């Protein structure tokens, strides 16, 4: 029986998403034979916990993929671009969490609850995982699209610092230590910048006591790469190549939990209660929509949980086909590690079928 279970590699096992991947592998129903942890040469030889064992981290080499059936990659774009094809060459199916292959027409971009059927066609041997902000949003928007026919999205994000890795988290906590306790900080021009100094970590501006309307790199016409990901990935996942999308991506001083204010225009009229009913029945979604009771989606509640939290459902007052809502999801879990693990588990199930 043990031999029939596929071998899984976790590439980038020491990173912050890799850490959540190992936690998930330790807490979910086990479908894996061997689990192999892979990272850069710097981390090779380290022992890390996974599924109740201490596993020795192997260096990322072509040989490290020998005998591997499925590999989950969480590494920078250029590392994925270089190494995913090497793994595929050795017979591995790669689930990649970078943006390197997401828009490749021969690479499916899969959210199991939304478009699992696309997993079957993967001519390059690679499956991509969506951007963390897209993921939180699409979980709630996809079921509404199936019911009402989506036409347009206007999005404003509230993105957590852990999206920039552990260095992002450390940077925010360092900055908070510098500003906490000084009651005048944030009330006078420039004094937050002065208190924080040049220690911006991976960000372009201080995050403590601030919001930063920038994430990613500069793309054409003033858009950030993060904003274009939201547009392009939503179109691909929902199979709506002409979907109208305008997004403004903003970083906020939150550790984990990306939130999105969504204005969604549909093809047919709807009402808020009908939309709530759709969301109550949607997999991977939790409806929290009772403002008088203080119930709306917030990062401090969504962190560490699997679903997208959705609330503040309102029909637009000036358009009976439009909804306004607020969504929060854990960017490390469904936004990154969880969706990757879910895809890998679907691949494991294929393996089980083909080997039985």
Q: Minimum distance from CB of 211 to a second copy (Å)?
A: 5
Q: Active-site residue 132, yes or no?
A: yes
Among 63, 117, 198, 318, binds a second copy (CB under 8 A): 318
Stretch that binds a second copy, among 53-61, 62-70, 87-95, 246-254 (CB under 8 A): 246-254
Closer Cβ to a second copy, 18 or 206, answer by number: 206
Among 57, 87, 127, 252, binds a second copy (CB under 8 A): 252
The number of residues that bind a second copy (CB under 8 A) is: 81
Is residue 277 within the footprint of a second copy (CB under 8 A)?
Answer: no
Is residue 80 within the footprint of a second copy (CB under 8 A)?
Answer: no
User: Is 95 assigned a ligand-binding role in the annotation?
Assistant: no
Handedness of CA 199, 201, 206, 210 (dihedral sign): negative
Q: Minimum distance from CB of 241 to a second copy (Å)?
A: 11
> What is the C-alpha separation between 299 and 328, in angstroms, rounded?
6
> What is the C-alpha separation between 31 and 125, in angstroms, rounded?
20
The burial class, CB within 10 Å (0-12 / 13-18 / 19+), for 275 is: buried
User: Would you call 124 helix, strand, or coil by DSSP?
Assistant: coil
Q: Active-site residue 249, yes or no?
A: no
Local structure of residue 335 (DSSP, 8 states): I
Q: For residues 215-234, which are near a second copy according to CB under 8 A?
A: 218, 221-224, 231
The strand ranges marked E within 148-208 are 150-158
> What is the C-alpha separation between 233 and 255, in angstroms, rounded?
24
Q: Binding mask 146-185 vs a second copy (x if CB under 8 A, - otherwise)? A: ------x-x-x-x-x-x------xx--x--xx-xxxxx-x
Question: Does residue 288 contact residue 280 with C-beta atoms inside 8 Å?
Answer: no
The strand ranges marked E within 65-120 are 70-73, 93-96
> What is the C-alpha separation between 53 and 71, in angstroms, rounded?
19
Closer Cβ to a second copy, 117 or 221, answer by number: 221
Closer Cβ to a second copy, 7 or 259, answer by number: 259
Closer Cβ to a second copy, 117 or 242, answer by number: 242
Q: Minimum distance from CB of 185 to a second copy (Å)?
A: 7
Beta-sheet pairing, 244-248 with 93-96: unpaired
Q: Minimum distance from CB of 161 to a second copy (Å)?
A: 9
User: Is 331 assigned a ligand-binding role in the annotation?
Assistant: yes
Is residue 212 within the footprint of a second copy (CB under 8 A)?
Answer: yes
33-67 in b/e form (b: 16+ CB < 10 A) is bebbbbbeeebbeeebebbeeebebbebeeebbee
Catalytic positions are 132, 258
Binding residues for substrate: 159, 251
């Amino acid at each position: 029986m043990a031999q029939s279970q596929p071998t899984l590699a976790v590439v980038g096992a020491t990173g912050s998403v890799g850490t959540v991947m190992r936690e998930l592998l330790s807490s979910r129903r086990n479908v894996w034979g061997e689990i192999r942890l892979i990272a850069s040469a710097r981390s090779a030889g380290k022992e890390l916990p996974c599924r109740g064992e201490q596993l020795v981290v192997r260096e990322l080499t072509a040989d490290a993929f020998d005998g591997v059936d499925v590999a989950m990659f969480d590494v920078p774009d250029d590392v994925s671009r270089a190494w995913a094809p090497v793994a595929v060459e050795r017979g591995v199916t790669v689930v990649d969490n970078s943006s390197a292959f997401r828009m490749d027409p021969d690479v499916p971009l899969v959210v199991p609850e939304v478009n699992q059927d696309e997993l079957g066609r993967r001519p390059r041997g690679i499956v991509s995982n969506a951007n963390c902000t897209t993921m939180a949003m699409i979980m709630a928007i996809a079921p509404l699209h199936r019911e009402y026919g989506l036409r347009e999205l206007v999005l404003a994000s509230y993105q957590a610092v852990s999206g920039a890795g552990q260095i992002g988290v450390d940077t925010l906590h360092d900055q908070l230590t510098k500003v906490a306790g000084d009651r005048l900080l944030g009330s006078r021009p420039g004094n937050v910048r002065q208190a924080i100094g040049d220690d911006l970590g991976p960000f372009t501006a201080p995050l403590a006591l601030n919001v930063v309307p920038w994430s990613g790199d500069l793309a054409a016409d003033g858009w950030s790469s993060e904003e274009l990901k939201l547009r392009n990935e939503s179109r691909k996942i929902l199979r709506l190549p002409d979907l109208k999308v305008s997004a403004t991506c903003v970083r906020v001083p939150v550790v984990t939990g990306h939130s999105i204010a969504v204005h969604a225009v549909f093809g047919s009229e709807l009402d808020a209660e009908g939309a709530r009913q759709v969301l109550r029945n949607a997999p991977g979604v939790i409806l929290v929509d009772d403002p008088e009771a203080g119930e709306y989606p917030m990062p401090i509640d969504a962190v560490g949980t699997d679903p997208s939290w959705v609330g503040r459902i309102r029909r637009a007052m000036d358009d009976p086909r439009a909804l306004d809502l607020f969504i929060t999801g854990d960017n490390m879990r469904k936004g990154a590690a969880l969706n990757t693990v879910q895809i890998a588990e679907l691949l494991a199930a294929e393996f089980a079928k083909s080997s039985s």
